[in-house]
A and B are shown apart, each in its own frame.
Chain A
Amino acid sequence: MSAITAPTGRRARRWRVPIIWWLLLATFLIAWLLVSLYGRGNFVATSTLLNIVERATALGIVAVGQTFAILVGSLDLSVAYLISVTAVMASFIMQGDPSRVPLALAVVTAIGLTVGLLNGLLVTKARINPLIATLGMGLILRGLLNASFQNFAGSVPESFQVLAYGSVGPVPVPLLLFAAVVAAGALVLARTRFGAHIYAVGGDRATARLSGIRSDRIVIGAHMVASFAAVITGLYLASRLRSGAPWIGPDGVYDLESIAAVVVGGTVLAGGRGGVLGTIAGVLIFAILDVMFNQLGIGSYTKQVLRGLIIIAAVAIYAYRSREVVG
């Protein structure tokens, strides 16, 4: 008798290009066309492309974490404030001293994992609706942070700024960081049992539990991943701004935008379906729009309208497609 193995067809299926990538391609081509016709500069220049990736990095990393939370049937609204907490604490502890970097990393990681654990416990053991639990957690973090810091606190040593400004050969470090997080997220979801259990719990929590899966632990784990991703984003932003300030998380609207990117990327808000690759497409679409509007010199309000339309249109398409399959 042979072992239980994944048939090859299945692996191909989960790695299949999500339709959102076609929308991403279309967005890119349209942006290229518009910028060439009306804009300043060349849209496909390396500098522009790097600009897109740079804008995508911060949101992209949070969104990868958010994908975990949403896949499991939850969501995380506390990420924006956790990003602020991380950036401020990191730069406050570092105080420009390279030798204090490891300590700062340890502290912010511990904070992040604790927040994720608490979020997970509130959602599973206390059975609080994730919207409320993580919103409350976010407000608590904001209050604690604002009570102690009003402005940029401390600074980040030169060596730590490599994270945002360094490059390995021609490749900028943020791009590497972004790629590493995406690869790790995709790998965990597609190739580990934790990932498989995330889909199982998100697909049907009762079924998963009755099949012997400790669904609570999976939900908690997903929340810890979401928080950890927010910590990485916070560190990246601290490195880019050379210091941390309490407003950088909420100013970036990382909570709602990460959820929007996940949903645009085809992950079902109810959980159980989707993945990191779709999320990345969603993030890149937003980033392309940003850069395009910059180069066209159009105000940000139009951009917001367009983003809203894209979110609604994408979800409408998914809803339509899923109905089609059933009928």
Chain B
Amino acid sequence: MIHRGGAARARTMAERQRTRSESHVTAVDPATHPPRPSAATGAPALEMRGIVKRFGPVTAVDRVDFACRVGEVHALVGENGAGKSTLMKILGGAYQADEGEVTLFGRRVTFSHPLDAQRAGISVIHQEFNLLPHRSVAQNIYLGREPHRFGLLDERALRNMVSALLHDLGIEHLVDPSAMVTDLSVAEQQMVEIAKAMSFDARVMVMDEPTAALSTREVDVLFGLIRELKARGVTVVYISHRFREIFSIADRVTVLKDGALVATREREGLESGELVRLMVGRDLADYYPDRASEDELGDVVLQVRGGGNAALHDIDLEVRAGEVLGIAGLQGAGRTELARALFGADPFTAGEVRLHGEPIELRSPRDAVRRRMGFITEDRKSEGLSLRQPIFDNVVLAYRSLRPLLGRLGREGKNGHPSVSELTASVDVRAAGLHQEVQFLSGGNQQKVVLAKWLATAKDLLIFDEPTRGIDVNGKAAIHRLIREAARDGMAVIMISSELLEVIGMSDRIVVMREGRIAGVLPGGSTEAEIMALATHGELTQEPAGNPTEEHGAVA
């Protein structure tokens, strides 16, 4: 594939940059690039062999082999903590493997920095984009590589290069080079990222859950772009949880579990039930704690009628004592906004909230804490914990907030209140001691500290927003157990998750949100297909071959 016009110039820029750098890396010399095939040829593009990565005592990736052919779309699946991101961070140069080797187009490579990987032709599109919001699309794509004449920026050359690049990818009608990134939708920003990667002459592109925030239509556009990349011999590693997408775009699927390779399969002939079993190692029903039985459910604890604010409309929901109410929906559907409204962080401006039948007003998180509610936030590092402070201070944070300001410390407890060590023991925090700063704990243990904080004050309602994000498999199972235990102890639990398997596995009922509204309520054990149908406005008309979602539903 030969670049035309500005893109070709862009390529020389990138090359110049390569030669200028004094990297000790065995970066592939662009002059000796193998000719780009126009489609998948079956030749190996990338081989990772025997990769091992340890973090302290934890082995995050354990002797994993992973290989991609030129021009294939290779889905990498596994639960959170299965080792996908670690493996891809090694490929992308963000981490260095402790053992194993990486071969790229037949040459052994080692990357000590993401830039090394980028120069060798590997680009990683992260979920959080690396774009400057207040610079234009063109400025972002050639950031740090701006064309210049006589020491001044050459705006026209920049514009031409970017236009050519976008045209080359067939997205020139979708992205305006002079638009500010902040004015673009998530999908458009993603295209900018992909264009940026291609401006680096990427030959292997890793996409980390690229559809997490996209609507169905935008996913179609993305898939068109991926097919275009594929047609020009770019190898795409596609990380996703969504079976439907995997089955419609991938050529092969590699499954990781607990940091180890489970299997690599051709997509053709693979059934979704089998894929689930490969991912979780057993049938889904055995993996999650049992749902609540009818007699474990108590009275309605929290009830919302017609709740609304800037982001939410006509929210009607109720949750009973002993119940885990799952909330599903695409990113941007208003799930986190709902949690924040329920907790008074961004309060409802319309409608009525009742706690135990009493109308209440929640204008600030403090009101919610007073009403014995707890909120385990999505971003535990910036909203759940004070990272540089000890476990003790984090656990007493909420409890202490309700006490008088000038009261002495050290008398936190009243009769019958558990001590901090009892609280941390009850959720099984593993740490050197209560004085240990939470920043040094694993994700799972950090989450347990947040939970301990709320168990000190919350009696009625716990809201979990993405409770197991970034937590390894064992930690996840422990958190799931703790969520269920909280419900068994008589609390009402609301659990938001973007992992459908988690919502299906944990929930007694499932509320599906779409565009700030409640699209529907499903009973526990509903299928992925049913949830997605509600979440995407029933746009689920074309099922990929093999109808995987239904089969998967049977497993769930």
Contact = CB atoms under 8 A, between A and B. Distances in A.
B121 interface: no
Contacts of B417: 1, 3-4
A288 to B, nearest CB: 31
Given A200-B389, A203-B386, A211-B401, A5 B412 contact: yes
A34 interface: no
B345 A3 contact: no
Given A1-B416, A196-B400, A273-B388, A210 B409 contact: no
A210 B418 contact: no
Contact of A4 (B387, B396, B407): B396
B403 interface: yes
Listed residue (B387, B400, B404, B415) with the most chain A CB atoms within 10 angstroms of its CB: B400
B399 interface: yes
Given A3-B419, A4-B456, A211-B397, A200 B411 contact: no
Interface residues of A, number: 35
B299 interface: no
Contact of A192 (B365, B385, B406): B406
Contacts, number: 142
A210 B373 CA distance: 11
Interface string B399-443: 111111111111111111111111000000000011100010000
B403 A210 contact: no
Contact of B410 (A1, A5, A195, A209): A5
Contacts of A207: 382-386, 397
A211 B418 contact: no
A322 to B, nearest CB: 9
A210 B386 contact: no
Interface string B356-393: 00000000111011100001010000111111111011
A192 B408 contact: yes
Contact of B419 (A4, A193, A211): A4
Interface string A162-194: 000000000000000000000000000011111
A214 interface: yes
A211 B411 CA distance: 19
Contacts of A203: 386-389, 393
B419 A5 contact: yes
B410 A210 contact: no
A199 interface: yes
A204 B403 CA distance: 19
Interface in B422-471: 422, 433-435, 439, 453, 456-457
B412 A200 contact: no
B480 to A, nearest CB: 23
Interface string A1-28: 1111111011001000000000000000
A212 interface: yes
B418 A4 contact: yes
A216 to B, nearest CB: 10
Interface string A235-275: 00000000000000000000000000000000000001100
A211 B435 contact: no
Interface in B302-319: none
Contacts of A191: 408-410
B398 interface: yes
Given A10-B434, A192-B406, A211-B365, A4 B383 contact: no
B448 to A, nearest CB: 16
A6 B401 contact: no
Contacts of A273: 388
A16 to B, nearest CB: 11
B392 A6 contact: yes
Contacts of A4: 396, 399, 412-413, 417-420, 456
A123 B457 CA distance: 30
Nearest to A270: B388
Nearest to B340: A210
Interface centre among A5, A191, A194, A326 (most CB of B within 10 A): A5
A233 to B, nearest CB: 24
B392 A10 contact: yes
Interface string A203-231: 11011111111100000010000000000
B496 to A, nearest CB: 15
A214 B457 CA distance: 16
A2 B375 CA distance: 25
B401 to A, nearest CB: 4
Contacts of A13: 390, 435
Contacts of A3: 411-415, 417, 419
A197 interface: yes
Contacts of A197: 400-401, 405
Nearest to B365: A210
Nearest to A213: B401
B343 interface: yes
A113 to B, nearest CB: 16
A200 B393 contact: yes
B407 to A, nearest CB: 5
Contacts of A213: 366, 397, 400-401
Interface of A: 1-7, 9-10, 13, 190-197, 199-200, 203-204, 206-214, 221, 272-273, 326
22 contacts: A3-B415, A3-B417, A4-B399, A4-B412, A5-B420, A13-B390, A13-B435, A192-B405, A193-B400, A200-B397, A203-B393, A204-B386, A207-B383, A207-B397, A208-B397, A211-B401, A212-B366, A212-B368, A213-B397, A214-B366, A221-B405, A272-B389
Interface of B: 343, 345, 364-366, 368-370, 375, 377, 382-390, 392-393, 396-422, 433-435, 439, 453, 456-457
Which 8 A-B pairs have CB atoms at the shortest separation, nearest pair first?
Answer: A3-B413, A212-B369, A203-B386, A4-B412, A212-B401, A4-B413, A211-B397, A211-B398
Given A199-B386, A212-B369, A214-B366, 7 more contacts: A9-B434, A10-B434, A200-B389, A207-B384, A209-B364, A210-B375, A272-B388
